Amino acid sequence: MRVTAPLLPPFASDNYAPAHPDVLAAVTAANEGYAVAYGEDPVTARLDARVREVFGPGASAFPVINGTGANVVSLTALSPRWGGVVVSDVAHVNTDENGAPERVGGLKLLPCPSVDGRITPDDVARWAGQRHDVHRAHPAVLSLTQSTELGTVYPLDDLRALTHVAHDLGMAVHVDGSRLANAAAALGCSLRALTTDLGVDVVSLGAAKNGGMLGEAVVVLGPDDGPDGGAGPARESAAAAIPYLRKATMQLASKARFVSAQLLALLGEPGAAVAGTGDDAPLWWRNAAHANAMAARLRDGVLASAGTAPGGGTGVRVTRPVEANAVFATLPRAAADRLRERARFYDWAAGETPDRVEVRWMCAWDTRPETVDAFVSAAVDALG
């Protein structure tokens, strides 16, 4: 009789994970009687106060329904009708939003070749070369993803340099922070140190991948938040435009209090510590640090047990630096398919040779160490 090994929890996406119990408890607590709809409620007011503590005294929070919506609202608010948005070629806005920035926002994306998901100030400057040519989209916004789509993290100095060059060239800076928490935990810094203090102007602040249930927020920094006020006028006009744009792009939840409650559960209530690394750290930190640690464990386990293959062969090759909660690796396609019978995950790109494939293994706030170890054993079995 063939004994089938039990299925393991998936490593497909941090979006597959359940919502954290504290998030659900916060939603339940917000479910108290009637509240003014469309964000005029006391829970959203608390979120606004909390975002000012976490990001800067002039910051404003606009809860939205999903990450794609956060990006579209942010970029549309920052870009004039004739503008363009400089992004990496692998940016989620460029590859995984079904053209929403173009279709819904009417934006022109200006992609740069990236290395492990990151771009450089030179890439930005190259696009900026066309900024006085009326035949070309005017590069108005730089959008960076932190942590990146390939599981890497921009170091603070690199982000500072990128922000600096963008502002020098008259561009506003947006961060797709769908996994901002993972980046902050990886760098050991606060959310503010990763955004406001570097001159970032607008953030798509992720919640779903960090233990949330449904909903994210656009955070616009105040003109006096950060080192040089960033793109001050762009921040002011973005903050003024977003209430309208959010509605026009179908991102305004009528019962916004339930989105706000989730974000508050992750960020902490007003007055709580904004950072910290221990058990009393805010939930966003604990969830993200755990997910990152699980990815490091997975990388180490795979490298130690599954046989590395520098140029291909029958083993596994970890293809990107594991800096947040994702592990990218190549392995023989047949082994990937065998492993997928035990735990779901996605193919990402072609491998080094036609018989190999690059896969993505994501860890989440609830990934257990023993699940990682069982997945590594399953990988060893699958590789034969």
Nearer to ligand PLP, 174 or 235 (CB): 174
What are the CA-CA distances from residue 324 to residues 181, 207, 288, 289, 367 (Å)? 9, 16, 8, 8, 14
Q: How far is the CB of 243 from ligand PLP (least distance, A)?
A: 20
Return the residue nearest ligand PLP (CB atom): 67
Q: Closest separation between CB of residue 315 and ligand PLP, Å?
A: 28
Question: CB-wise, 67 or 211, nearer to ligand PLP?
Answer: 67
Please, which residue, 88 or 163, has the CB nearer to ligand PLP? 88
110 beta partners: 86
Question: Least Å distance between CB 320 and ligand PLP?
Answer: 14
**Cβ nearer to ligand PLP, comparing 28 with 98:** 98
Nearer to ligand PLP, 71 or 114 (CB): 71
Q: Which of 209, 214, 210 is nearest to 260 (CA)?
A: 214
- Nearest approach, Cβ of 308 to ligand PLP (angstroms)? 28
Give 148's contacts (C-beta < 8 A, 6+ positions apart): 88, 90, 114, 116, 117, 118, 154
Residue type, 238: A
Cis before 305? omega within 30: no
Taking the complex as a whole, the smallest distance from the CB of residue 177 to ligand PLP amounts, in Å, to 8
Taking the CA atoms of residue 145, residue 151, residue 157 and residue 163 in that order, the dihedral angle to the nearest 10 degrees is -10
Nearer to ligand PLP, 362 or 374 (CB): 362
CA distances for 349 relative to 60, 148, 155, 335, 352, angstroms? 38, 16, 25, 15, 10
CA distance 336 to 162: 37
Per DSSP, which regions of 56-189 are E strands?
Answer: 60-64, 83-88, 108-112, 138-145, 172-177
Number of H helices, E strands in the chain: 13, 11
To 10 degrees, the CA torsion angle through 192, 195, 196, 199?
160
Question: Which chain residues interact with ligand PLP by CB under 6 A?
Answer: 66-68, 71, 92, 145, 149, 176, 178, 208
For the bound state, the minimum distance from the C-beta of residue 85 to ligand PLP, rounded and expressed in Å, comes to: 14
Dump strand ranges (E) for the chain: 60-64, 83-88, 108-112, 138-145, 172-177, 202-205, 216-220, 317-318, 326-332, 346-350, 356-362
CB of 147 to ligand PLP, least distance (A): 8
Cβ proximity to ligand PLP, 183 vs 331, nearer residue: 183
Question: Minimal distance in Å, beta carbon 66 to ligand PLP?
Answer: 3
Nearer to ligand PLP (CB atom), residue 92 or residue 340: 92
